[in-house]
Amino acid sequence: LSRAQEALRESESHSRLIIETAHEAFVAIDIDGVIIDWNRQAENLFGWPRQEALGRRFDDTIVTPQGHQAQIEGYQHFLSTGEGMVLDHRLEVMAKHRQGRQFPVELTIWPIQLGQTYRFNAFIHDISERKQAEQMKSDFVSFVTHQLRTPLAGIKWLLELASEEEALPEAPRSYIQDARESADRLIKLVNDLLDISRLERGKFNILPEAVNLGELTHSVLAEVSPLARQKGHQLLCTRLDEIPAMIVDRQLMRQVMLNLVSNAIKYTASGGEISMQLCRMGATVQWSITDSGIGIPKAAQARLFEKFYRAENGLTVETEGTGLGLYLVRLILGQFGGRVWCESEEGKGATFLFTLPLTE
């Protein structure tokens, strides 16, 4: 018997040790809500030494005033039904330190039946840091919007003003021109990052409207034609099927086409040929652009639409890319049930295609 008692005592002290060394606060209460266990981490987290915490009411000790009602209701619900809203899953609530400071915690509570009565065991940990990080992530987006764009607009505008000075010598004039291009690149990068972050978080307010893809293609073509001329490219539409208006976001679709067309211009050596097609194929619309550029190695094709990915051979031609453009294209098309891919052989040009379901 004494050996059994010995074994029991050993097992108890072992359990005690586990509880005492846990990284989480451990709190147990009885059926009346009185604290009956309180580990070292609970002492640290809530500021109550074990000796003082034991015997106190749980709700007066660590539950915030706002949490009282919910706690009482949950408790009564459990007593009458045997089910608990907080039992068996993780719950995020605000807790209270002895000094009155409130902080977010995650807790799991489960009941243990002891004959006619219950006790409740809870593991609790502080999630202040995680909450802060989540907040920072969403704050960052608005930070980028306002705090980065304001000085960027300052740079852009003052450089524009400087470039209008008449008596400017050739060298400073070219420096100013280069600085303007850099500023515009940075602004585009900020815009892309912002769009991506909002699309990823589902925070983008899409404005669907009836859009004629043929007209949109022509307007994008008109927009990029100065750039195409500069590089001596021939840029044309070779096929434009009659397509009913699509219900999409005009700005976003414009961005998709613009990204694909500017890629074709960038990655094709001077004097190339670039053609666009818009075809109706059953219940889908297919838009494509074919260039006579450097092409894309097979291995890179699958990864081309990943965030920040850039194909090896692209890096040697164009160092300014960010690896965001095609990712953004994919994100946008995904919003409208579309798909994008590319067909290419290295050195033999590339075709980028996207499809959208017809919305009739």
Residue ranges that bind other proteins, judged by CB under 8 A = 145-146, 149-154, 156-158, 160-161, 164, 187, 190-191, 194, 198, 204-205, 207
Nearer residue to other proteins within complex by CB, 58 or 204:
204
Nearer residue to other proteins within complex by CB, 134 or 165:
165
Residues pairing with 354 in the sheet: 287, 340
Q: What is the nearest approach in angstroms of other proteins to the Cβ of residue 150? A: 5
Nearer residue to other proteins within complex by CB, 54 or 247:
247
Q: What is the nearest approach in angstroms of other proteins to the Cβ of residue 309? A: 26
Q: What is the nearest approach in angstroms of other proteins to the Cβ of residue 257? A: 18
Residues 256-289 as b or e (16 or more Cβ within 10 Å = b): bbbbbbbbbbbbbeeebebbbbbeeeeeebbbbb
Q: What is the nearest approach in angstroms of other proteins to the Cβ of residue 153? A: 4
Contacts 24+ apart (CB under 8 A), 42-48: 42/124, 45/95, 45/97, 45/105, 45/124, 45/125, 45/126, 46/95, 46/96, 46/97, 46/98, 47/97, 47/98, 47/99, 48/98
Q: What is the nearest approach in angstroms of other proteins to the Cβ of residue 19? A: 49
Q: What is the nearest approach in angstroms of other proteins to the Cβ of residue 197? A: 12
φ, ψ of residue 91 to 5 degrees: the values are -135, 135
Cα torsion for 202, 204, 208, 211, to the nearest 10°?
Answer: -110
Q: Nearest Cα to 252, choosing from 196, 311, 185? A: 196
Nearer residue to other proteins within complex by CB, 124 or 224:
224
Nearer residue to other proteins within complex by CB, 54 or 162:
162
Nearer residue to other proteins within complex by CB, 76 or 251:
251
Handedness of CA 239, 244, 246, 251 (dihedral sign): positive
